[in-house]
Structure 1
Amino acid sequence: MFRFALTAAAFAVSASAALAQTEMPFALDWKFEGPAAPYTLAIDEGFFDDQGLRVTITEGAGSLDAIPKVATGAFPVGFADINSVMRFIDQNPGAPVVPVMMVYDKPPFAVVGRISQGVETPADLEGRTLGAPPPDGAWAQFPIFAAETGLDVDAITVEPVGFPTREPMLAQGEVDAVTGFSFSSTLNLIRLGVPEEDISVLLMADHGLELYGNAIIVNTDFAEANPEAVTGFLTGVAMGWQAAIDDPEAAIASLVERNPAADAELEQRRLQLAVETNVLTDAVREAGMGSVDPGRLAAAIEQTRQVYEFQTEPDPSLFFDGSYLPEGDVLMLSD
Structure 2
Amino acid sequence: MIRTTIATAALAALALATPAAAETAMPFALDWKFEGPAAPYFVAVDKGHFEAEGLTVEVSEGAGSLDAIPKVATGAFPVGFADINSLMKFLDQNPGAPVTAVMMVYDKPPFSVVGRKSLGIAAPADLEGKVLGAPPPDGAWAQFPIFAAETGLDMAAITVEPVGFPTREPMLAEGKVAAVTGFSFSSTLNLIRLGVPEDDISVLLMADHGVALYGNAVIVNTDFAEANPEAVTGFIRAVARGWQDSIADPDMAIEALVERNPAADPALEKRRLEMAVEANVLTDWVKANGMGGIDETRMATAIEQTKSVYEFVNAPDAELYFTSEYLPTDGSLTLE
Does the TM-score normalized on the shorter chain lie above 0.5?
Answer: yes
Count of aligned positions = 319
* C-alpha separation in 1, matches of 2:254 and 2:162: 32
Partners in 2 of 1:18 and 1:267 — Cα distance?
39
In structure 1, give the amino acid aligned to 2:120.
G
Structure 1 residue corresponding to 2:229, chosen from 213, 227, 230: 227
User: Is residue 2:101 matched to residue 1:99?
Assistant: yes
| CA displacement, residues 125-166 of structure 1 (integer Å, 9 cap, x when unaligned) | 000000000000000000000111111101100000000000
Gaps of 5+ in 1: 1-15
Amino acid at match of 2:310: Y
SS for the counterpart of 1:272 is helix
Of 123, 127, 144, which aligns to 2:146? 144
Classify the secondary structure of the residue corresponding to 2:309.
coil
What's the Cα RMSD here? Answer: 1.1
The amino acid of 1:24's aligned partner reads: M
Which runs of structure 1 show a deviation greater than 6 angstroms over 4 or more consecutive aligned residues? Answer: 16-19
Return the offset for 1:64.
Answer: 0.4
> Which residue of 8, 26, 31 corresponds with 1:24?
26
AA aligned to 2:161 is E
Please give the secondary structure, in 2, of the residue aligned with 1:322: coil
What pairs with 1:251-262 in structure 2 (closer than 5 Å)? 251-262=253-264
Other-structure match for 1:69: 71
Shift of 1:17: 9.3
- Aligned residue for 1:184, secondary structure, equals helix
Cα separation, 1, equivalents of 2:27 and 2:289: 29
Asked if 1:305 is matched to 2:301, the reply is no
CA–CA distance in 2 between the matches of 1:315 and 1:169? Answer: 39
Alignment match of 1:205 (pick from 194, 204, 207): 207
Higher-Rg member (1/2): 1
Report the 3-state secondary structure (helix = DSSP H, G, I; strand = E; otherwise coil) of the residue aligned with 2:269.
helix
Aligned pairs for 1:1-335 within 5 A:
20-334=22-336
How far the C-alpha of 1:77 sits from its partner, in A, is: 0.2
The Cα of 1:301 is off from its aligned counterpart by 0.3
Under a length normalisation based on structure 1, what TM-score does the superposition of the two structures give? 0.94
Q: What's the % identity of the aligned pairs?
A: 74
* SS of equivalent residue, structure 1 residue 146: helix
Output the CA distance in 2 between the equivalents of 1:26 and 1:32: 13
Post-superposition Cα deviations, 1:11-40, rounded to whole Å, max 9, x if no partner, equal xxxxx9998100000000000000000000
TM-score, length-scaled by structure 2:
0.94
User: What CA distance in whole angstroms lies between the structure 2 residues aligned with 1:152 and 1:264?
Assistant: 40
Distance in 2 of aligned mates of 1:58 and 1:159: 29
Q: Secondary structure of 1:67's partner?
A: helix
| CA offset digits 1:168-205 (Å, max 9, x no partner) | 00000000000000000000000000000000000000
The aligned amino acid for 1:268 is: K
d(CA) in 1 for partners of 2:93, 2:145: 18
Cα pair distance change 1:225/1:17, threshold 3 Å: closer
Which secondary structure state, in structure 2, belongs to the residue aligned with residue 324 of structure 1? Answer: coil
Stretches of structure 2 lacking an aligned partner (at least 5 in a row): 1-17
